[in-house]
Structure 1
Amino acid sequence: MSLLHSFRRRRKSASVAKDRLQIIIAQERSNLNSEDYLPMLREEILAVIAKYTKVDREHVRVDLQHRDNSAVLELNVMLPEKETV
């Protein structure tokens, strides 16, 4: 049986480390409270929207709801009226 193991390709340590890091990150994200990252997420979303259109910051709402084993992120953005010439 050891002869077969010598021919089998071993996973590289970088690949194993990457997989472990992804597991750790997923666990950390699942342990975060919504208050921890929602303000930062809201600011990043506003920055992306600002690249394309002007939006009043008070017209953006970000809500996170947990249901069963999933989380629902709801984003509401009131876009400005289209100006007519």
Structure 2
Amino acid sequence: MLKAIRRFFGEKPSSQEARRRMQVVLMHDRMDLAPDVMESLKNDILAVLARYMEIDQHSIRVDLEQGKDYTALVSNVHVKRVYRHAHSN
């Protein structure tokens, strides 16, 4: 029954989520990025985006994705609205 509910709501099994997390950790290790560097990168992205749009400060996710021939930095941020003029900080 629980399996059917998870499938209905699209919840990933914990093994898939654990694998994804492990892949992210391995990519960070391969790129030699310390956790504090990733946190600083996230904060810098937030600061730049906040000049141009109102964003949900708690929604940002910054991940590294590994392709066959590349590593990509992918960020996901919920945008509430876009400002007509850039705000200066």
TM-score, length-normalised on structure 1?
0.49
User: Which of the pair has the greater relative contact order for Cα pairs under 8 Å at 6+ separation?
Assistant: 2
> Quick check: which has more Rg, 1 or 2?
1
Give the TM-score, by structure 2 length: 0.47
